[in-house]
């Protein structure tokens, strides 16, 4: 090959490959910037199940990024896939299925940060015979996955009932389902369809599970799923209000009964059945299915006056508090979104109290909206402050060593939830701490 031919090839390569490499380099820098931003706002660390990329076999096809409906979870750095906003992952697994070389697996926790997961076998049964777990508690927070798991768990239980695994006794239920979120509702319908003698209990007045704590305007991602006795849900995106309305329609049309305001306090297996004590009664069942969320019971502040009726732990209808003086406590997305939503109501005075000097694990978009509301005088940001006492018409806080009293009509506390680990251990369930493993 002569020098002229080599020169022509060199020019062609430079013309074709050069722009591609430049574009790839720019793309890597953009993703690296997003990773730095995610770390700054505490969104790079995963909360629960998430993709783990084996960079040694990743070919950089980008199929995982295209397959993920939750944009921003993954990105390409130097032609290798990396997690970006890992805390937003809901564990649908589309990325792992789309990878052409199997470079992605879904794991819990990281090498530095462990995640507690109850021991659950492939048939959704725990180490306690007859006690099953499905949905968010077992690590699957996606609505579609949770609903599928609830139905599958009941299918396994139905097989055990048919096989006579635990004998039927007088005044005993076949199954008690605890938690009326997506997984619990699907499980209840599957049990009803099979004509089981079952109960569906929920500690809240309104069913819906973790969805109840979503911000009012938040969009819930979901995919089509078959619902027993109802049909196929052919939806892609729904707001919280639309989704709750859908649950109510499902319950109404199928005749499913949900027992509200009944919290399960303990559940113990004795011989061939469970003795379950609730806030209202004692029940007996051959099988028990837990479809409760990982949020558990709302974490309390532990201050005088917290039992006053004006103290609440979730916001459903911001417009009901128009014209009032509100204190929001917390530094996560739920607290920030509630403060912004309340501040948009006519005549409402909102103060946001957070114990630290800066917000962590808050989405950049929420920070932008909060800062805009603060600059407009709609939200009083009280950083490095702690609530000391809640009074009938005011709230006493301590901020940087100074006592501050605010006139107040209502207090919203968003301090996270207490995981139900103690309850699970009392039931006899083994809890494993996962550090970046399945």
What is the rounded CA–CA span in Å between residue 99 and residue 105? 10
What is the rounded CA–CA span in Å between residue 325 and residue 331? 19
Of 340, 415, 407, the residue nearest 378 (C-alpha): 340
Phi (first) and psi of residue 76, to 5 degrees: -100, 125
* CATH number for the domain formed by residue range(s) 3-113: 3.30.70.20
* The two structure tokens encoding residue 75: 């990105």
- Mean pLDDT (the chain) is 85
Taking every pair of Cα atoms in the chain, the longest distance, rounded to a whole number of angstroms, is 95
Report pLDDT for 283.
Answer: 95
Which stretches of 275-315 are DSSP H helices? Answer: none
Counting residues of the chain whose pLDDT is more than 70, the rounded percentage is: 86
**Strand, coil or helix: 35:** helix
Find which of 19-28, 132-141, 143-152 is predicted with most confidence, using mean pLDDT: 143-152
Q: At what angle do helices 240-254 and 182-193 cross, to 10 degrees?
A: 20
Report pLDDT for 8.
Answer: 63
Per-residue pLDDT reduced to its tens digit, 103-115 = 998 888 777 777 7
Residue extent(s) of CATH 3.50.50.60 domains in the chain: 116-296+419-434, 311-416
What is the rounded CA–CA span in Å between residue 292 and residue 171? 25
Of 403, 391, 211, 416, the residue nearest 299 (C-alpha): 416
What is the rounded CA–CA span in Å between residue 76 and residue 23? 12
- pLDDT at 218 exceeding the cut of 80: no
- pLDDT at 71 exceeding the cut of 80: no
- pLDDT at 222 exceeding the cut of 90: no
Report pLDDT for 217.
Answer: 47
This prediction has a pTM of 0.71
Under CATH, what is the fold of the domain 116-296+419-434?
A: FAD/NAD(P)-binding domain (3.50.50)
Higher pLDDT, 40 or 177: 177
* The two structure tokens encoding residue 305: 């006056």
* CB 64 within 8 Å of CB 51: yes
| Other CB atoms within 10 A of residue 11 CB | 10
Query: Tokens 């697994």 map to which residue?
Result: 93
* CB 412 within 8 Å of CB 313: yes
Residue extent(s) of CATH 3.30.70.20 domains in the chain: 3-113
Give the pLDDT band (50/70/90) at residue 242: confident
In the predicted model, what is the mean pLDDT of residues 393-422?
A: 91
* CATH number for the domain formed by residue range(s) 311-416: 3.50.50.60
- pLDDT at 294 exceeding the cut of 80: no
- pLDDT at 33 exceeding the cut of 70: yes
In the predicted model, what is the mean pLDDT of residues 393-405?
A: 96
């Amino acid at each position: 090959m002569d020098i002229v031919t080599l020169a022509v090839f060199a020019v062609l390569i430079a013309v074709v490959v050069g722009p591609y490499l430049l574009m790839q380099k720019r793309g890597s820098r953009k993703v690296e910037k997003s990773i730095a931003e995610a770390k700054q706002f505490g969104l790079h660390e995963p909360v629960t199940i998430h993709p783990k990329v084996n960079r040694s076999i990743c070919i950089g096809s980008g199929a995982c990024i295209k397959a993920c409906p939750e944009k921003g979870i993954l990105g390409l750095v130097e032609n290798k896939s990396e997690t970006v906003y890992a805390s937003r992952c809901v564990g649908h697994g589309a990325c792992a299925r789309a990878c052409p070389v199997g470079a992605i697996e879904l794991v819990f926790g990281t090498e530095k940060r462990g995640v507690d997961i109850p021991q659950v076998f492939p048939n959704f049964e725990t180490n306690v015979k007859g006690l099953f777990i499905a949905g968010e508690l077992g690590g699957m927070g996606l609505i579609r996955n949770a609903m599928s798991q609830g139905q599958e768990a009941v299918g396994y239980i139905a097989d055990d009932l048919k096989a006579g695994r635990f004998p039927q006794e007088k005044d005993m239920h076949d199954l008690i389902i605890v938690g009326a979120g997506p997984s619990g509702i699907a499980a209840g319908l599957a049990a009803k369809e099979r004509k089981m003698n079952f109960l569906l209990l929920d500690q809240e007045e309104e069913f819906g599970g973790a969805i109840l704590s979503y911000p009012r305007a938040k969009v819930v991602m979901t995919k089509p799923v078959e619902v027993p006795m109802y049909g196929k849900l052919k939806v892609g995106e729904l707001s919280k209000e639309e989704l709750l309305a859908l649950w109510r329609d499902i319950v109404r049309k199928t005749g499913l009964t949900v027992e509200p305001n009944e919290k399960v306090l303990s559940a113990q297996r004795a011989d061939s059945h469970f003795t379950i004590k609730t806030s209202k009664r004692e029940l007996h069942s051959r099988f028990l299915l837990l479809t409760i969320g990982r949020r558990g019971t709302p974490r309390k502040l532990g201050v005088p006056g917290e039992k006053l009726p004006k103290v609440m732990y979730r916001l459903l209808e911001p417009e009901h508090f128009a014209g009032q003086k509100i204190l929001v406590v917390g530094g996560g997305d739920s607290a920030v979104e509630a403060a912004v939503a309340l501040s948009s109501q006519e005549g409402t005075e909102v103060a946001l109290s957070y114990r630290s000097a800066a917000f962590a694990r808050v989405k950049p978009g929420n920070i932008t909206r909060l800062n805009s509301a603060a600059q407009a005088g709609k939200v009083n940001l009280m950083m490095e402050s702690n609530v000391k006492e809640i009074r009938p018409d005011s709230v006493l806080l301590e901020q940087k060593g100074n006592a501050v009293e605010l006139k107040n009509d209502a207090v919203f506390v968003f301090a996270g939830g207490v995981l139900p680990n103690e309850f699970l251990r009392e039931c006899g369930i083994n809890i494993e701490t996962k550090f970046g493993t399945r």
